[in-house]
Amino acid sequence: MKANLRVGMSQGVNLTPQLLQSIRLLQLTAPQLELELRQALERNPLLEQEEPEDEAAEDTAAEAAALDAAAWDELPDPAFLSGGSAGAGGDEDGMLRIADGESSDPRLRLLRLLALHWDARDLPVAAWWLDQCDDRGYLEQPLDVLLDAARDAFPARADDVGMLRQRLLHGDWPGMAAADPAECLAAQLRALPADATRDLARRIVAGHLDLLATHDAGRLAAATGAPIDDVRAAMAMILALRPHPVQAPAADVHEHIVPDVVVRHAGGAWRVALNRRGAPQLRIAAHCERALAGSQHTALRGLLEEARWLVRGVAMRNDTLLRTAQVLVERQSAFLAQGPEAIVPLTLREVADAIGVHESTISRIVSGKYIQTPRGTFELKRMFAVRLEGAEIAGTAVKAMVKRLIDAEPAHAPLADDVIAGLLARQGVRIARRTVAKYRDQLAIGPARARQRLATRQARQECV
């Protein structure tokens, strides 16, 4: 037997309990953080609640937290969040073991579900596909364009990227990563038990979606050659499906939104501040810290270290949240002042580069966090926007323009999709008719013919 000695170097991060706690604090929403801190007050006698006007301890904790920011950002991004390689060792990512509440980000919720039964090597590709979806679960760009981009992003998996999208499409959330509503509905129908009604429903979705939108059972019966009663049953089955694949998280009926950040316009500038109401401000009791300075009591020293890490972790969370919100408000000031049509393209990476942290840190800090603005209270992630392909404008802004044009159209002569595309082209925004149709579907607005019928029906009812 011959023995070999090999010398090698590898880079890694030790996920200590303290760092895992810091990550968990980063992801907590305002109500979750308040509950966490009140439980800590009851559990650890070395902690005490600050008076609202006492901010000295918080400033000290923030300075100490800055020293640990590098360790925070050196943490490896979970394989299914970063879109990178899962690693040859196949070790379970430490982030998967962090217990926290259900995220409001559908991408994170689905990826956590997929991590239970998907091969770890497939999760980065699944994450990439979900990155290409809008908030409703539809692909943002044409499928052929995305397939080419996926093969470029994962050259070693070039033959598998299309198959993995199909797994998403027919997986835990049927219809996810669908190219259009027809593909979404077809995927949901495929998940139902096979019978004659389902087969007819699949035929209608595949070839007669325009007739389905008019709810005209007679024309559908003529087009499919099926009895009208069977057509009505198939229509009822289709209408019972979800219009989009994203499944909303189970919500508490008593749940109310507590903004994490408050924005106001004063003195000609936007002011950003954390919402200090609700969550208690904690600090370590000074007399306890002095008493334990030279103590060797193991249990009490452990409580002191736990208290220090909690105070420091909360300061890190608050500092990261505030800096992220400040960048978002600065970049999207036009959106706050003028409305959705003024939103500009903005990505996680751009914000991460602006404040000097990892992209995954921004992903965690904006998930489930709300910002209160003069335009209302909404999730921080709404201030990110995908750039429209081949243009310097965000898809969200174009969607708002489509809605404005439809809202202002004459009731007796609604605008067709190609007409809307032409009007937008005059404003310097060139998009295809099918893109207008996609945004219109996302806004739950029917086609021009359906809107005209609705307007005619309403006019007749007014006359009666």
H or E stretch covering 47: strand 47-49
Predicted pLDDT at 63: 46
Predicted pLDDT at 18: 60
Dist. CA 460–CA 464, nearest whole Å: 6
Q: Hey, what's the torsion of the CAs at 444, 206, 189, 109, to 10 degrees?
A: -50
Q: Hey, what's the torsion of the CAs at 161, 167, 173, 174, to 10 degrees?
A: 110
Residue 262 pairs in a beta bridge with 273, 372
CATH superfamily of 395-463: Homeodomain-like (1.10.10.60)
Dist. CA 359–CA 361, nearest whole Å: 5
- List Cβ neighbours of 374 (8 Å cut-off, separation of 6 or more): 263, 264, 265, 336
H or E stretch covering 59: helix 56-67
Q: Is 29 within 8 Å of 260 (Cβ atoms)?
A: yes
Dist. CA 198–CA 203, nearest whole Å: 9
Predicted pLDDT at 321: 92
Per-residue pLDDT of the chain (464 residues; tens, 9 = 90+): 455 555 555 444 444 566 666 677 887 878 888 888 888 888 888 888 876 554 444 454 444 444 444 444 444 444 333 333 333 333 333 333 333 344 556 777 788 888 878 888 888 898 899 888 887 888 988 999 999 999 998 998 888 899 999 999 998 888 899 988 889 999 999 888 888 888 999 999 988 888 888 778 888 899 889 998 898 888 888 888 888 888 655 444 445 778 889 999 888 889 999 987 767 788 877 777 676 666 666 677 677 778 888 888 888 888 999 999 999 999 999 888 888 888 888 888 899 999 998 888 888 888 888 999 988 888 888 888 877 766 677 778 888 888 889 888 888 888 888 888 888 888 888 888 888 888 888 888 888 888 888 777 777 777 75
Residue given tokens 């903004």 in the structure block: 259
Q: Hey, what's the torsion of the CAs at 149, 152, 155, 161, to 10 degrees?
A: 0
Dist. CA 437–CA 426, nearest whole Å: 18
What the block records as the tokens of 414 is 């609604």
- List Cβ neighbours of 73 (8 Å cut-off, separation of 6 or more): 357, 358, 361
Nearest to residue 264, comparing CAs of 272, 275, 253, 276? 272
Question: What b-and-e string marks burial along 377-399, b requiring 16 or more CB atoms within 10 Å of the CB?
Answer: eebbbbbbbbebeeeebbbbbbb
Residue 96: what residue type?
Answer: L
Predicted pLDDT at 348: 87
Dist. CA 7–CA 20, nearest whole Å: 31
Cα angle value 435/438/444 (rounded, 5°):
145
Nearest to residue 281, comparing CAs of 247, 248, 317? 317
- List Cβ neighbours of 325 (8 Å cut-off, separation of 6 or more): 261, 263, 272, 371, 380
Name the packing angle between helices 30-43 and 298-331 (round to 10°): 160
Predicted pLDDT at 68: 46
The SS3 assignment for 379 reads strand
367 burial type by CB count under 10 A (0-12 exposed, 13-18 middle, 19+ buried): buried
Q: Is 170 within 8 Å of 190 (Cβ atoms)?
A: yes
Supply the DSSP string of 175-215, one letter for each residue.
Answer: TTTBSSHHHHHHHHHHTSPP-HHHHHHHHHHHH-HHHHHTT
CA contacts within 13 A on the Cβ side of 379: 16
Report domain extents, the chain: 181-239, 395-463
